[in-house]
A and B are shown apart, each in its own frame.
Chain A
Amino acid sequence: MIDWLLEPLQHSFNQRALVAALLIGLTNGYASAFVVLKKSALKVGSLSHALLPGIAVAIMLVGLHDWSAFLGALIAALLIGLGSLAVSRGTRLDQESALAILYTSAFSGGIILLRRMNVTHEMEDWLFGNIMGLRDSDLWMNYWISFGALAILTALHRPLLMTLFDAEVAATLGVPVRALNYLLLAVLIVVLISSLQAVGCMLAIGLLVTPAATVYLLTDSTGKLFWGGALLGSGASAFAVLAGWWLNIEQGPAIVLVLGAVFLLAFLFGPKYGLLRKLRKSTHSESIS
């Protein structure tokens, strides 16, 4: 039994996957608190789809290198994010509609491009992730992204929280609200890209929302929301990588599924905001009245 549990760790590609899962889960989990407090899960999810066409164009132009996919994805997400802003400002259309049009168009283009190139077999990796396929260089990139993102987000924690709580009041206290909003979105996009290899662009948003959303059901403390999200994100990701090996299931979907399961538990059994607790409370108050 012990051998069976520990066997995955004897292979270097498994160790690499495990380290990557811990890192990616940590960064995404921490950053997910901002997504939840910003209430912008759908917007960030749309941008994660915009990563695919960026990767396709980058591979087409310069081939697949360590940084080409990363840069292509970053540029595409920025273009589509800013493009939706430009469309909504220039027309009577709202930004979410503009975003939906832009990202689905780009995504479709990306699929068609990728199928025409000699990387067809990797298509599924881009969509759903392949954490076992990580190389050392990928790991280093993840390390730097995690380090940079966490450094920026913790350094700007105070003004970012003020902006998310009430942007107008924050502005009257001298917080550079607009710059911080752009910076936060940029950091979130970079964090999304770091999780591409683990969960792919279809599932990336799951890893960048669920951890803190789960903790949000359990605590009222802002600090716990961030570090609890980071802990849950890395723990669940690492566990899912191992479980994927033990049970022979795909690791990318396993990560998101494990997180979803933990969320369900918190939703049902959370001591303060859980469903059961609420039901018990309402039947209790009925029996009193």
Chain B
Amino acid sequence: MTPSSHECCAHHLHHHELRVEDLRVSYRDVLALEGVSFATSCGSCVALIGPNGAGKSTLLKAIAGLLTPDDGRIFWRGTRVSRWSREIAYLPQREDVDWQFPITVRGVVAMGRYPQTGWWRPFSKTDDAAITRALEAMDLDALQNRQISELSGGQQQRVFLARALAQEAHALLLDEPFTGLDRTSKATLAALLRTLAREGRLVIASHHDLETVKDIYDEVLLLKRRTIAFGPVNEVFTEENLQASFGPMEKNGKAAV
């Protein structure tokens, strides 16, 4: 297997499908998602868009196997996702992570090898090579021995991506990856996400900045507890759909497309 390229996905497009059917998730008594269905596949960059509380994080966590749905099913490559999968990587919001934790950049990326190494087996040459490759792909090799507390926001996000690469994940689920980044880091991250999708991975990210959606993503899932619309960005990312998701926009609101 040539690990840097990911052409396996492109060759078997029909196998690498993520399908969500009639998903329903609730926290205790509070309904978070209901009747959510969509299907997408490797090679696509999908934006999850919706107002706060629309269930974007919930959907990502459900696909990652962190939440048990009340109802509905999630299929990855035709197999039911019930718990975790090495092929699906979850990248949490940066603010959910304790950046003071005493660990180096390489240490975080190495965590992606856990499915291969298990509890105590030392890292093999393959593991080390995968970690190094992931660091290089995210342009972090110079920073690999730094403490994670010393990183900028953009670098922190790239550490998460590198961990997903070390994991050799096919699908990447990102929760608000652009939030809190400066302009340069945003541009870098957007380019990286495009590259990862072009190499054949499935990238799904919750996204707030409506102005950049068309530049970054191929498909859009508009969410407001239910699926408002799903499809190619040109067809779905319309004023009408946005209003259905966010409610009536202010005249010169940010959301005007």
Contact = CB atoms under 8 A, between A and B. Distances in A.
Interface stretch (B32-40, B71-79, B82-90, B240-248): B82-90
A159 B147 contact: no
Contacts of A169: 90-92, 111, 163
A174 B61 CA distance: 14
B111 A173 contact: yes
A273 B98 CA distance: 17
A222 B92 contact: no
Nearest to A36: B102
Contacts of A216: 102
A173 B64 CA distance: 10
Contacts of A165: 97-98, 101, 103, 108, 111
Given A171-B66, A172-B90, 14 more contacts: A156-B120, A158-B120, A165-B97, A165-B101, A165-B103, A168-B66, A168-B90, A171-B65, A172-B64, A172-B84, A173-B111, A173-B112, A175-B114, A220-B102
B167 interface: yes
A157 interface: yes
Interface string A138-169: 00000000000000000111110110111011
The number of chain A residues touching the other chain, given as a range, is 20 to 34
When A and B form their complex, which 4 residue pairs have the shortest distance between CB atoms, in order from nearest? Answer: A172-B90, A173-B114, A220-B147, A172-B64
A220 B148 CA distance: 10
B111 A162 contact: yes
Given A220-B102, A225-B102, A172 B65 contact: yes
A185 interface: no
Nearest to A223: B102
Given A168-B66, A172-B88, A158 B114 contact: yes
B115 A174 contact: yes
Interface residues of B, number: 30
B114 A174 contact: yes
Contact of A158 (B86, B101, B117, B147): B117
B120 A157 contact: yes
A257 interface: no
A41 interface: no
Nearest to A219: B102
A37 interface: yes
A274 to B, nearest CB: 16
A283 interface: no
Contacts of A166: 92, 96-98
B86 A174 contact: yes
Contacts of A175: 114
A158 B163 CA distance: 15
A27 B96 CA distance: 31
Interface in A109-138: none
B120 A155 contact: yes
Contacts of A156: 119-120
A91 interface: no
B107 interface: yes
A161 B167 CA distance: 17
Nearest to A224: B102
29 contacts: A37-B101, A155-B119, A155-B120, A156-B119, A156-B120, A164-B101, A165-B98, A165-B108, A166-B92, A166-B96, A168-B61, A168-B64, A168-B92, A169-B90, A169-B91, A170-B111, A171-B65, A171-B84, A172-B64, A173-B86, A173-B112, A173-B114, A173-B167, A216-B102, A219-B102, A220-B102, A220-B147, A221-B102, A222-B103
A216 B147 CA distance: 13
A162 B120 CA distance: 13
A124 to B, nearest CB: 38
A159 B114 contact: yes
